[in-house]
């Protein structure tokens, strides 16, 4: 692992690191905010998963999260959204290929060679953090959050690992990807035509299929009503219906006038970090 950037921020440090990933078969980059508390104690971790076309830099540069993370004493880890490189499969469309990994383990060629983002986020990245920041990060206290495609990733990873993540936060999430064109395009490309396999990466389906839905991590979902993708791509009402039917803990906040942008995220990130910190015991 190599530190490639660092800036002092609200008493802590905003950093970027790169490392060789065995899971993805390429170098991967992640951003990390270490609050001031990490200088004297180990602190809980929030993973932030970004959306289509984003990198690890969008959230730390645009969300304005460092001040509240410093106050709460939580670290924020923001991985990249896909493998990248000249020899890695890509597509000309913005919603497929590099920058659009959808946080799945691809099974279809040529994507399966590198696009193993689920395993990267859930297994390899935490191992890298444990090895590099053992005296600063408490990886027994984790929560997960994200935006759009990353909101989908946060929901899926949190719901598939309910004993690990204390809470889930999502902005403008793709809540039922198997039923919308973004998800159908990505899943058919990365996973093939077996739609049953898609359900392993569909938050609404996972909630319905949970053995004990009431024991799933609590979820906070923020949705702007002026979001141009709301009607065709996001389907929060499907996740809401699943929560009502199963008893899973879901809070949905619909915000009049807000869209899909980081202006929306910056407006409510403090509320979400406080929600996650409360469940992390921070």
Q: How confident is the model at residue 95 (pLDDT cuts 50, 70, 90)?
A: very high
Per-residue pLDDT for 73 more than 80? yes
Q: How confident is the model at residue 11 (pLDDT cuts 50, 70, 90)?
A: very high
Residues 176 and 111: their CA atoms lie apart, in Å, by 22
For the stretch 190-200, pLDDT in tens is 999 999 999 99
The CATH number of the structural domain formed by 2-280 is 3.40.50.1820
Per-residue pLDDT for 219 more than 80? yes
Q: How confident is the model at residue 98 (pLDDT cuts 50, 70, 90)?
A: very high
Per-residue pLDDT for 67 more than 90? yes
Averaged pLDDT for residues 149-164:
98
Q: The whole model's pTM is what?
A: 0.97
For the stretch 247-280, pLDDT in tens is 999 999 999 999 999 999 999 999 999 999 999 9
> How far are the Cα atoms of 169, 182, 223 from residue 101, in angstroms, in the given order?
19, 12, 22
First to last CA, the chain: 28
- The first and second tokens of residue 270, run together, are 């403090």
Per-residue pLDDT for 240 more than 80? yes
Q: What is the pLDDT of residue 2?
A: 97
For the stretch 137-153, pLDDT in tens is 999 999 999 999 999 99
Domain-by-domain residue ranges, the chain? 2-280
Residues 227 and 257: their CA atoms lie apart, in Å, by 8
Per-residue pLDDT for 282 more than 80? no
Averaged pLDDT for residues 195-216:
97
Query: Among 22, 86, 32, 87, which Cα is nearest to 56's?
Result: 32
Q: How confident is the model at residue 203 (pLDDT cuts 50, 70, 90)?
A: very high
* Residues labelled catalytic: 148, 227, 260
Q: What percent of the chain has pLDDT over 70?
A: 100
């Amino acid at each position: 692992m190599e530190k490639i950037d660092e800036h002092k921020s609200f008493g802590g440090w905003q950093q970027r690191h790169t490392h060789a990933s065995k899971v993805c078969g390429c170098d991967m980059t992640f951003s990390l905010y270490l609050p001031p508390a990490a200088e004297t104690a180990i602190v809980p971790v929030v993973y932030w998963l970004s959306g289509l076309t984003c990198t690890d830099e969008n959230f730390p540069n645009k969300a304005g999260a460092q001040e509240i993370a410093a106050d709460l004493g939580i670290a924020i880890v923001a991985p990249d959204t896909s493998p990248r490189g000249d020899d890695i499969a890509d597509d000309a469309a913005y919603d497929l290929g590099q920058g659009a990994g959808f946080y799945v383990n691809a099974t279809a060629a040529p994507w399966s060679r590198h696009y193993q983002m689920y395993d990267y986020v859930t297994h390899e990245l935490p191992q890298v953090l444990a090895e590099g920041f053992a005296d600063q990060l408490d990886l027994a206290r984790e929560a997960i959050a994200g935006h759009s495609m990353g909101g989908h990733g946060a929901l899926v990873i949190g719901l598939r690992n309910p004993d690990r993540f204390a809470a889930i936060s999502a902005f403008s999430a793709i809540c039922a990807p198997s039923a919308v064109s973004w998800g159908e395009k990505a899943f058919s490309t990365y996973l093939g035509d077996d739609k049953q396999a898609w359900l392993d990466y569909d938050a609404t389906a996972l909630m319905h299929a949970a053995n004990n839905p009431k024991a799933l991590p609590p979820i906070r979902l923020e949705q702007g009503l002026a979001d141009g993708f709301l009607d065709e791509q996001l389907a929060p009402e499907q996740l809401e219906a699943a929560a009502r039917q199963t008893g899973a803990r879901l809070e949905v906040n619909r915000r009049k006038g807000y869209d899909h942008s980081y202006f929306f995220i910056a407006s409510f990130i403090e509320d979400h970090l406080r929600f996650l910190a409360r469940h992390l015991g921070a």
